[in-house]
Amino acid sequence: MGESTEPVEDRIREKIEVALMSWQGRISFFACELLSAF
């Protein structure tokens, strides 16, 4: 039951979570650099 769909959804969710975390880290780091520049 759903062996072909569940793994794909889990992989997509993991990729999205990793992408969001990496983007949040980059944005926060970029914001800190901008604040330190000012």
**What's the pTM value of the predicted model, to 2 decimals?**
0.50
Q: Which two tokens stand for residue 38?
A: 């000012």
Residue 16: φ, ψ to 5°: -65, -45
pLDDT exceeds 60 at position 27: yes
What was the pLDDT predicted at 5?
66
pLDDT, mean of residues 10-28: 92
What was the pLDDT predicted at 16?
92
Identify the H or E element spanning 20: helix 6-37
Domain segments of the chain as ranges = 10-37
pLDDT exceeds 60 at position 10: yes
Cα separation, 10 vs 18, in Å, equals: 12
